[in-house]
Structure 1
């Protein structure tokens, strides 16, 4: 909130041993004590590790085991400094605003100490009116070493900081504890009247919208002669003024004033989640006029929608409400859990947030859980979610620790937690995407039961939510119980549950999800390897071979918990090379995730939704439960989850993956629809390795309105013991089909996928269009051979960016093409990136080398 703002970006940083900068020179000799490092260029927002890497003081901390050589960084003090000029105008108040200081800091302006701050998520703001020189001002931020906090394993009850804990070591990241200025720093001005806080309450009433804007302002004590301030609120639809209202605030002897105004929007464009319509946004501008001129301003966006959390169908009376009703229509949660985008979270830019949210939207995600072991993200993330129609479940910064998971009652911790919560509540409440708050991740009592409002820590947060964001839903923790973890042998207790995070095997995995009675499955997953292209970015060449986490310390450093070699060897046999191993591992992850999502969705509104653990990873891992790896390369599981989350979908319910002669294969086919009732068609075929069709059905159908419909059963006697496999192919209208594969062998049941007869592919780019700065190339791919082409995907000869991230994205991949079948693939890249259609080729698991473009 400001009239004028100047970002401070020209920074340097230098490292010191603890307390040295406070003393300055030796008591014994008088010698000025030098730093651990020299002065180096600093990036703000950013972090010290990034600057040290850029300056050559440390090697790439994401590569190999280099991060072990960086652990000294968190144990040093770091001094940031910048010089700037800023000339205030007459009557202006001047403030220094630091949005993200990590973690304990001392602040000096022109050698005068401004103050001290501890924390990470509350902005630091100093009134520096009268403290600036006409030019050549020097600002110093001295950061103490990082506090000693626990990583994933420890005692939650002993937590004492509000520092993001995942950086101290988690299953998806190494230990690399950031220090630095992780969000922006600016000099800002207001007049004598300034906004302290703003609250937007957008209301949707049939076809009209109503915005109640309120807040608090402060008038400087020296401004007694300024008269009464005026608040003006303006509402815009794509820069066109929709309504404007103003209020004269009578001072009546006080300099702290509350205000409230109402604006109206006829024929409002409602805000809808991804997959349910347009995410209509309106611009809001709030201006204070005092003494005849502008004194302070605030700008943002809002959207008009109604959101309630209601009871699930057939839910026990003791259950919390877990179903979202948005704009009067129930919304099935198609969710993912988000970790911070980078272990050095200060380096995450607006562009990276936009790319990540684009991946979320393309995957059909309509809700993202911002996990309590990470961070409260920068404003850019929530802005992107507002625009994309993705609801946000925001957790406060608390997480389980394994040894005990009891929320901390340490008085100092609670004070810091309160500061974090209030700062978050006052800012994030104005985002239309915000769906709910949660006390934290996997918080429990001493008996291992999920925490409730009876816990003093959680009750404090509940009161803060009621005070600062009344009406917003607040969950005590996730999972909220009564079972913490999914336990199918305890039906009726699996309300909001977590787990499992591993593939259960070719029988038990399906038994577990077929029998689940969860009301909300807010965290679960399956692990899988990243691609070999990504491995080349962080593994030394000598380590790019099939190995295990137990045997290889470098692999263990990049994904210790998530070794899949034994699992995948049991399914496929021993892999021939690393490329094949990565493919096997990704297939198992994709199969496991797809089945879990479809099984939950078959119980729609008895089960209110799935929230996959996890969407992304903040550090590169050989294997992890993420759908998208550190370099933003989607895994096979991403694409299969995308299908399972489609607005209209067709799925197969089955009991296991391997059969033998004499058994009957039995399955059920379901239609899923998140939209309105609509006529359509579907088809299903059961075929074997010879291409012979054993069962086939085609029908027209009325898609159920926002529901799920069982449409047929498949029953096929398995008689031919000479076959290795069979498959079921389901297709809804013209959508890409779903293909489910089954084996007729008990040992290494999917070894046949490693010795497929070759397929032949031909492809051509049919068109290129440019919209909003994005080139989209449409390719047609033909399976011109006589064999099924398994898991067809694009590849590009265009080099990746220096970051290792590809500059292109394919909307569909890992597709199965029958002989003579054609499929459309859409590939997008930034306009002007130089990525040409000729750089793309298409491959399958059994691609014939003679295949090619045309």
Structure 2
């Protein structure tokens, strides 16, 4: 897209980002010591304040880590040692000279403070700040241009808050609660100057922000862009707006700030990934004497519409429709990349998370109310890659009650905090769905409705902000909260939008709920797995074995997700960490693929399936994420990618075990109709074929029910989907076994086999040179970076070879040489050097 030329407006902005200094204060010790004055301290009875380097924007924790004051909070039990940070006030300071021209008005602008602060200039109080995503402007006197000025920001101690096991009804701020402890992260209550700090000059009026409010005709052939300018004192002044089309054409209008609009004929529509392109428009606004403001935006229509099932049940509509085209929403719940703001490489990691989601064929990502809003970097990446976003407002469930706070006590909080939050969503065509919060219920644990006074007030703010996206009162939206098996069997019509299950519960209980579900939307479900051995030794402890509650660090890094007992119920006793990690990750991948394909097989009834969760903001020993903290994919990532691909094979199993025969209902899951052939084989670990079927199929269509013999050992099902011309569209593997205690123990106890890996640049050929299968071959880079592998977690039978592409990218996007480790349960790690 061509960009408009740079503005010739005289300098009106000066950044104060970068190097600051930082010091702690117990209570108002800062006032006693005069830290707010910026004056030097004399040698005397009172020790002088020790200042340390700080970065703005950033956070106190990040600065303390860099200074070596606190240990790495990601490692071991160190986060407990850092909890004192939230029991202090913190003082930021710096000096500056004003480099802006004299005359006019001078302002100090803060892009966000976590959570509240008092600002002092040259020892005089300027004002108060509050809100990590709220922009504040403080008027300055006409400062002397050649003099150094002292700027001091004193952060309050963080407000009291409740972690996962508190009471939602007692929520008193819009501060995201996950930092007070959640099942996927530690207690790490953040403080800091998390937004940009700038000096701004204007000639008596200022433009603060601009947004494009787009309306579109029903046929999508005409549109209007209303220019929404946030300003200070520009009501009657001429504002000039310039609209740049995706093809570079420009239009300009001049008029009052509240009376500017553009008509669009045949607008270039933004489409979700796979349905079209993602063109963006550019809008800028200028006012004499003020810095120009600009934004990018996309043009699209998004609705929630009924399918036949939701209409028949009298449910809410759950099918996303973009530009008149229904979209089956498959994807993930997403979290911030780090609990600690200001960590090195965060924007690049944020972009990488969205790229991983897009590569796994996600069409919708849910950012739920427990964590901060999706960052601008993440939203821009979703806009660019065509991935839809479901953004919830910052309210979330609790262990004691999930009841939204009463409007009488929370209304003023919403009035102050929601407008700046909601304005951050303008212009992002990817933002397709909004919600009031995560898992909000009445006292009876039934999900709340839009009529709840607090929820209704939030919706009023959403519409007042000019956001037209569909709005969900909460998720799950009920009437049944979770995927309850009794309800599924007796009252399936009550399964609308549901959550769960999340825990691995063996080879029947982990699978059965998904096979009998009749949910219209499955917006949160998961299964845990251990992290990679390398991650465990790096972040948990050098030797984390036996990976259960006898190891305090293992408990600290995921106390709700221990699973060794469950792994051993399925695979028998596990004696070492390497095998445990592979078996646990294989189990997670199998369950998530099973859940995703069962949901997808019900397209027409089910409108969405979102895995909890894509990533994690803190390194866990066990967790439901499919990307680890350092963004290493677990094996489950590849199984999610398989299940969500344009073509996928659904096995139609109730569970991977049976007494004598197993019923398969194989079906082709495809984004477009077609016909072709499905080839199925059942093989022993030694490679002998014991059953085979070839089916001519049409998709969509009724699944064929087949009976599969269960022999005395685990066997491998292989399936391939071919089109009419014989081209491979999809393939899948599924291990099955007799229904008995430790049904897959034989796989965990297979004799060792030998693996050869030949490399040709990033192209690998992996060969099983032994006499037994190598189940769940795992490919891992031994260096930090972003793995871009064509597959991992597959099985090689004796004598088989498999071609795989493997690239490791740095955060800068460049491919780099690395050491690849290839291993399986019965294959010790084989290391090869890969050069792109």
**TM-score with structure 2 length normalisation?**
0.90
Residue pairs, 1:483-494, within 5 angstroms: 483-490=480-487, 491-494=492-495
Contact 1:658/1:745, CA 8 A, preserved across alignment: yes
Partner of 2:532 in structure 1? 531
Give the conservation status (yes or no) of the 8 Å contact 2:392–2:435. Answer: yes
SS at match of 1:126: strand
Answer yes or no: is the 8 Å Cα contact 1:64–1:538 preserved in 2.
Answer: yes
1:614 and 1:832, CA in 2 relative to 1: closer, same or farther beyond 3 A? closer
Which runs of structure 2 are paired with 1:724-763 in the superposition (5 Å)? 724-733=713-722, 734-735=728-729, 737-744=731-738, 746-763=740-757
Give, in angstroms, the shift of residue 471 of structure 1. Answer: 2.5
The match for 2:66 is: 54
- CA–CA distance in 1 between the matches of 2:214 and 2:689? 56
Residue 90 of structure 1, CA deviation: 5.4
Asked whether the equivalents of residues 243 and 264 of structure 1 are also in contact (C-alpha less than 8 Å), the reply is no
User: Secondary structure of the residue that 2:585 maps to in structure 1?
Assistant: helix
**Contact map agreement 2:808 2:816 (CA 8 A) in 1:** no
The correspondence of residues 325-336 of structure 1 with structure 2, limited to 5 A, is 325-336=321-332
Residues 134 and 481 of structure 1, relative CA distance in 2, 3 Å threshold: farther
Q: 1:82-107: CA deviations, max 9, x gaps? A: 22233223565433222120112001
Residue equivalent to 1:431: 428
| 1:452-482 per-position Cα deviation (integer Å, ceiling 9, x unaligned) | 1222211110111121134221111111111
- Asked if 1:375 corresponds to 2:384, the answer is no
* Residue of structure 1 equivalent to 2:336: 340
| Paired position in structure 1 for 2:819 | 839
Task: Tell me which residue corresponds to 1:824.
Answer: 804
1:812 aligns with 2:806: no
Which of 123, 127, 133 lines up with 2:135 in the alignment?
123
Q: Which residue of 2 aligns with 1:714?
A: 706
Is the 2:308–2:604 contact (alpha carbons within 8 Å) kept by the matching residues of 1? yes
Q: Which range is displaced more, 494-503 or 728-737?
A: 728-737
Q: Structure 1 residues 665 and 199, CA, compared in 2 at 3 Å: closer, same or farther?
A: same
Contact 1:513 1:600 in 2 (8 A): yes
- Which residue in 2 is equivalent to 1:234? 243
Give the alignment of 1:171-182 within 5 angstroms.
171-182=183-194
Quick one: structure 1 residues 548 and 233, their matched pair in 2 at CA, closer, same or farther if it must change by over 3 Å? Answer: same
CA contact (8 A) 1:657 1:742 kept: yes
| Structure 1: tracts of 5 or more residues without a match | 250-256, 768-776, 801-805
Question: Partner of 1:562 in structure 2?
Answer: 561
> 1:32 deviation in Å?
8.5
* CA distance 1:683–1:186, shift in 2 (3 Å): farther
In the alignment, which of 7, 29, 38 is matched to residue 15 of structure 2? 7
The answer to whether 1:147 aligns with 2:132 is no
Partner of 2:619: 620
In structure 2, what is the equivalent of residue 630 of structure 1?
A: 629
> Does structure 1 conserve the Cα–Cα contact (< 8 Å) formed by 2:586 and 2:776?
no
1: distance between equivalents of 2:796 and 2:281?
46
User: Structure 1 CA distance, aligned partners of 2:248 and 2:349?
Assistant: 31
Instruction: Give how far 1:524 is off.
Output: 1.3
Q: 1:314 maps to what in 2? A: 309
| Contact 1:166/1:373 (<8 A) preserved | yes
* Cα distance in 1, alignment partners of residues 124 and 319 from structure 2: 54
Cα distance between partner residues in 1 of 2:198 and 2:789? 39
What is the CA distance between 1:617 and its match in structure 2?
1.3
**Cα-to-partner distance string for 1:570-622 (whole Å, 9 max, x where unaligned):** 00111120111111211221111111111111111301111111111111111
- 1:218-367 aligned within 5 A: 218=231, 220=233, 228-237=237-246, 240-249=247-256, 257-264=257-264, 266=266, 269-278=268-277, 280-290=278-288, 295-315=290-310, 316-347=312-343, 349-367=346-364
Conserved 8 A contact 1:762-1:851:
no
Shift of 1:248: 2.6
Q: What per-residue deviation string (whole Å, max 9, x for no partner) do you get for residues 391-413 of structure 1?
A: 11111111111211111127564
For 2:80, the equivalent position in structure 1 comes to 68
Contact 2:89–2:154 (Cα < 8 Å) also in 1 = yes
The 1:183/1:764 distance shift into structure 2, 3 A limit, reads: farther
Report the equivalent of 2:509. 508
Q: RMSD over aligned Cα, in angstroms?
A: 2.9
| Aligned mates of 1:203, 1:701 — CA distance in 2 | 43
Whole-Å separation in 2 of the counterparts to 1:134 and 1:412: 48
Structure 1 residue 317: deviation in Å?
4.6
Structure 1: distance between partners of 2:45 and 2:293: 45
Q: Is the 8 A contact 1:193 1:296 kept in 2?
A: no
Paired residue secondary structure (1:154): coil
Instruction: Identify which of 33, 44, 47 aligns with 2:56.
Output: 44
Q: Structure 1 residues 287, 569: CA separation in 2 closer, same or farther (over 3 Å shift)?
A: same
Alpha carbons 1:155, 1:403 under 8 Å: kept: yes
SS in 2 for 1:695: strand
Closer/same/farther in 2, CA of residues 302 and 753 from structure 1, 3 Å limit: same
In the superposition, relative to structure 1, how do residues 765 and 678 fare at CA in structure 2: closer, same or farther (>3 Å)? farther
Mapping of residues 447-466 of structure 1, within 5 Å: 447-466=444-463
Q: Aligned partners of 1:838, 1:340: CA distance in 2, in Å? A: 27
SS of aligned partner of 1:139: strand
Distance 1:459 1:208, change over 3 A: closer
Pick closer, same or farther for the CA change 1:745–1:201 going to 2, 3 Å: same
Retained in 2: the 8 A contact 1:808–1:830?
no
Secondary structure of the residue that 1:259 maps to in structure 2?
coil
SS of the residue corresponding to residue 72 of structure 1 reads: helix
State whether residues 152 and 400 of structure 1, in contact with CA within 8 Å, keep that contact through their aligned partners in structure 2. yes
Answering whether residue 803 of structure 2 is matched by residue 791 of structure 1, we say no
Distance 1:12 1:680, change over 3 A: farther
CA distance in 1, matches of 2:62, 2:55: 8
SS of aligned partner of 1:696: strand
Q: 1:600 to 1:781 in 2, by over 3 A?
A: same
Stretches of structure 2 that go unaligned for 5 or more consecutive residues are 1-6, 36-41, 723-727
Structure 2 vs 1, CA of residues 70 and 576 (structure 1 numbering), >3 Å: closer, same or farther? same
The DSSP-based 3-state class of the residue aligned with 1:629 is: coil
- 2:174 aligns with 162
Per the TM alignment, residue 38 of structure 1 is displaced from its structure 2 partner at its CA by 1.7
Match of 1:471 in 2: 468
Q: Distance in 1 between matches of 2:506 and 2:716?
A: 18
Q: How many residues align?
A: 807
Q: Hey, what does 2:689 align to over in structure 1?
A: 693
Partner of 1:639: 638
SS in 1 for 2:355: helix
TM-score, normalization: structure 1? 0.88
Question: 1:702 and 1:111, CA in 2 relative to 1: closer, same or farther beyond 3 A?
Answer: same
Contact kept? 2:354, 2:382, Cα under 8 Å: yes
The answer as to whether partners of 2:822 and 2:829 remain within 8 angstroms in 1 is no
* 1:673 aligned residue (670, 675, 696): 670
Partners of 1:308 and 1:288 in 2: CA distance: 33
Is the deviation greater in 553-562 or in 447-456?
Answer: 447-456
Secondary structure class of the residue paired with 1:503: coil
Q: Quickly say closer, same or farther: Cα 1:25–1:355, change in 2 above 3 A.
A: closer
Does residue 544 of structure 1 match 2:548?
A: no
- Take 1:463 and 1:413, find their aligned partners in 2: how far apart are those partners? 14
CA drift of 1:711 comes to 4.3
Q: Cα distance 1:693–1:453, how it changes in 2: closer, same or farther (>3 A)?
A: same
Shift of 1:196: 4.5
- Report how far residue 129 of structure 1 moved: 5.8
Q: Distance in 2 between matches of 1:832 and 1:318?
A: 50
CA–CA distance in structure 2, aligned partners of residues 477 and 468 of structure 1: 19
CA distance in 1, matches of 2:833, 2:28: 65
Conservation of the 8 A alpha-carbon contact between 1:119 and 1:161? no
| CA shift in 2, pair 1:106/1:385, >3 Å | same
8 Å contact from structure 1 (residues 529, 585) kept in 2: yes
